[in-house]
Amino acid sequence: MNIAEEKMVSVVYELKYDDTDAQLIEKVEKDNPLTFLYGKGRMLEHFEKNLAGLAVGDSFDFKLTAEEAYGPVTEQAIVDVPMEAFEVDGKVDEKLIAVGNTIPMMDSYGNRLHGIVVESNESIVKMDFNHPLAGEDLHFKGKVIEVRDPKPEELAESCGTGCSTDGCGSGGCCGGC
């Protein structure tokens, strides 16, 4: 069976920056593969395109430009958040707003976001809400370990609310809900 629309796909891979250092970003192994319903927008579009037609046992090795992956770094995603937003019982935990910390937040529409503290002063915390891999060219190398028809409950899950591909961790760095 080949990878096609509405097939459950499981892959293992190494994800590296596509630069001279080729630093490892993520390694997904057989004991916990990335499994997803193909063609439902849950993965990066160009990630899926590179897997189209592959079968169990096939290897893949491809690169995605920053534009094909998480896009460029945008200045609009770097914002000043009032210090009051970090107050609990009238106090701010200085450890929480330390430069480099990632803080889960929610926008005015209820969307969950992760911001990285860039700097802070007595009145604002400057946070970067760009995806951590924005602006990066990526290199995927791996293998297809399963292609099958989805179970009814897997199809039902795919028909839920929309999904964004702006977070690592819940389905690999290719995206997830």
Confidence of residue 160 (pLDDT cuts 50, 70, 90): low
For residue 48, give the 3-state DSSP assignment. Answer: helix
Is the pLDDT assigned to residue 162 strictly greater than 50? no
pLDDT digits (tens, 9 = 90+) for 115-155: 999 999 999 999 999 999 999 999 999 999 999 999 988 88
pLDDT at 72: 97
pLDDT digits (tens, 9 = 90+) for 10-52: 999 999 998 777 899 999 999 999 999 999 989 999 999 999 9
Running DSSP on this structure, what letter comes out for residue 154? Answer: H
Tell me the pairing of strands 8-17 and 91-92. unpaired
pLDDT at 91: 92
Contact of 15 with 70, CB cutoff 8 Å: no
Is the pLDDT assigned to residue 170 strictly greater than 70? no
> Can you tell me which residue has the tokens 């096939």?
58
> Which residue ranges form the domains of the chain, and what is each CATH number?
8-70+134-158 (3.10.50.40), 75-128 (2.40.10)
What's the predicted TM-score (pTM) here? 0.77
pLDDT at 37: 96
pLDDT at 7: 96
Rounded to whole angstroms, the Cα distance separating 15 from 138 reads: 7
Contacts by 131-135 with C-beta closer than 8 Å and gap 24+? 131/70, 131/71, 131/166, 131/167, 132/168, 133/25, 133/69, 133/70, 133/168, 133/173, 134/66, 134/70, 134/71, 134/72, 134/73, 134/74, 134/77, 135/66, 135/70, 135/71, 135/72, 135/73
Rounded to whole angstroms, the Cα distance separating 96 from 113 reads: 16
- CB neighbour list of residue 135: distance below 8 Å, 6 or more residues apart: 66, 70, 71, 72, 73
Rounded to whole angstroms, the Cα distance separating 12 from 142 reads: 5
The strand pairing partners of 64, in sequence order, are: 138
Q: Which of 75, 52, 69, 72 is nearest to 5 (CA)?
A: 52
pLDDT at 159: 60
162 or 118, which is more confident: 118
pLDDT digits (tens, 9 = 90+) for 67-115: 999 999 999 999 999 999 999 998 999 899 999 999 999 888 998 999 9
CB atoms within 10 A of CB 18: 17
Is the pLDDT assigned to residue 176 strictly greater than 60? no
